[in-house]
A and B are shown apart, each in its own frame.
Chain A
């Protein structure tokens, strides 16, 4: 496999992006956005996660597609756990 060798500069650039996003998420938490606070926080966190996963973990360069399927499946399964559990809690007051 062995993804291509990436330059130190590029990696440092990704790192800088991660730091910026951290500053951003900390700053944004001081704003009053109601339910959107959590949405924004998770969006930013997901952006950071993608930077780490794609570039530091090399997902962008993985030659074996099946490994990407594995990763997506894992995330999807977490989503199943969260979403279906919430169907109970959200609908409890409906009855």
Chain B
């Protein structure tokens, strides 16, 4: 099945089929659009990272000596907004999902290629608004835009930021819509739901959330904008409004949003772990169902962000209980990944290192989420660095690592080149160390009572803050390394064969890089996902 010949350099593929800027800007090829996204989100990642470095610099000392308090507010706001809306949410779906989903299901493209291109343009438009906001003074509401601060009391560019996110949200909705219709309607003959790679399932579950949740954020931001412009008073207590209504509407989206961010990463981990344990996934059915369960249950827990905001105690209890339930499918996934590796033939390639990191760090992040779901504990640690550490363990330790795993795993397919493995492993190690040094101290800081979003702190917290900042610089180095060697590999990397990992999946049965229309003939699928039993017999495992 898998071809192992090194392709001739001049073979036509999606990269060299056409040249010129317009052939990229007007493309409807899902693979080119994926690369357009890759460049864009990388750009925003470094912008968000820049704000993070400024935050950590300020927090080196207890006094607020690097910048004004209001400026600091802008730092963490911009860091959050850029990272969440312009990096984490699009990262895996818009880059890897766009590239791989049609191929994985045996299709020539997504259902709506032009809508796909529109999605990217909307992302760029939203990004432009965000850049405008940043360059003209930024916004300081916190990424959460809480009212009435954002509607009544701030002079900054709240409406511009809200518009930026609104537009980017529209991009996200259209991507989700495209994926749903594609996965339902464009699967090749024989590619039944139960033969789909879990990466496809994960993006499908994500798409459901994108489609059902994002519109509520859209209307909420619109109402905030209307209130600022027309002074309507919907969330203004002085005009009879309830600020908590804003929070309900905001978190109805923003909690499921964190599952938009993590589910695709879980899909990546399933692909990588199976490939580098050379075993089929343990409990395929449960893994697929768990993805859907997380997507659905994720919509039922939003008010756990509001426990101390003034909601009723009874509502708090309901949401606390529901928050415990949503941890169950995530835990099932962690157990199943572990079981997959048991008695597998493990190779510690770069993607596998990232995936292993994900499993450990995501588990820590997830468990600390349960701490927060307990009302009694939440009262003490909410709005402290404990929360910050919790979600960074999931978002960075989980999601970013999964994204790096995916980028490295599919790099040969996307670029036709191998990245340098030693550098890959080194960067992974640096990122792992840097990450833990940055964020583990923050659990302790939060537990000891250091509040979040404060630009100065009590002197006894300084040592841990210094450690955290040191970690952040190491982390930064870890991020810059792949930028360099991946770019380098596009020119000087070893040409990749079709299936350099000898992995299962339709994407490894076509050339690296693929042709524009992916397949010469639509395949007919007769095998189950992760058919490593068969593959292991064909290609003896040499490691």
Give chain A's interface residues, CB within 8 Å of chain B: 66, 70, 73-74, 77, 80-81, 84-85, 87-89, 91-92, 94-95
Contact = CB atoms under 8 A, between A and B. Distances in A.
Given A88-B311, A94-B312, A74 B212 contact: yes
B252 A88 contact: no
A89 B312 CA distance: 7
B250 to A, nearest CB: 12
Nearest to B184: A66
Contacts of B252: 81, 85
A53 B247 CA distance: 32
B248 A80 contact: no
A88 B208 CA distance: 26
Contacts of A81: 216, 252
Given A88-B315, A95-B313, 7 more contacts: A66-B184, A73-B208, A84-B318, A84-B319, A87-B312, A88-B244, A89-B312
Nearest to A94: B314
Among B303, B314, B318, find the residue whose CB has the most chain A CB atoms closer than 10 A. B314
Contacts of A74: 212
Contact of A87 (B184, B244, B245, B314): B314
Given A73-B212, A74-B212, A80-B300, A85 B312 contact: no
Interface of A is mostly: helix
B299 interface: yes
A89 B248 CA distance: 11
A92 B300 CA distance: 19
B105 to A, nearest CB: 15
Interface of B is mostly: helix
A73 B303 CA distance: 21
Among B300, B313, B315, B318, find the residue whose CB has the most chain A CB atoms closer than 10 A. B315
Nearest to A86: B315
18 contacts: A66-B184, A73-B208, A73-B212, A77-B212, A80-B299, A81-B252, A84-B300, A84-B303, A87-B314, A87-B318, A88-B244, A88-B315, A89-B312, A91-B313, A91-B315, A92-B315, A94-B312, A95-B312
Contacts of B248: 85, 88
A37 B300 CA distance: 30
A90 B312 CA distance: 9
Contacts of A66: 184
Contacts of A84: 300, 302-303, 318-319
Interface in B212-253: 212, 216, 244-245, 248, 252
Nearest to B322: A84
A2 to B, nearest CB: 16
Contacts of B312: 87-89, 91-92, 94-95
A73 B300 CA distance: 14
A92 B245 CA distance: 13
Interface string B192-222: 0000000000000000100010001000000
B503 to A, nearest CB: 30
Minimum-distance CB pairs A-B, first 7:
A88-B315, A91-B314, A91-B312, A92-B312, A88-B311, A87-B315, A77-B212
A84 B322 CA distance: 11
A84 B244 CA distance: 13
Contacts of B311: 88, 92
A60 B248 CA distance: 35
Contacts of B302: 84
Contact of B314 (A73, A80, A95): A95
A85 B312 CA distance: 11
Contacts of B180: 70
Contacts of B216: 81
Contacts of B184: 66
A57 to B, nearest CB: 17
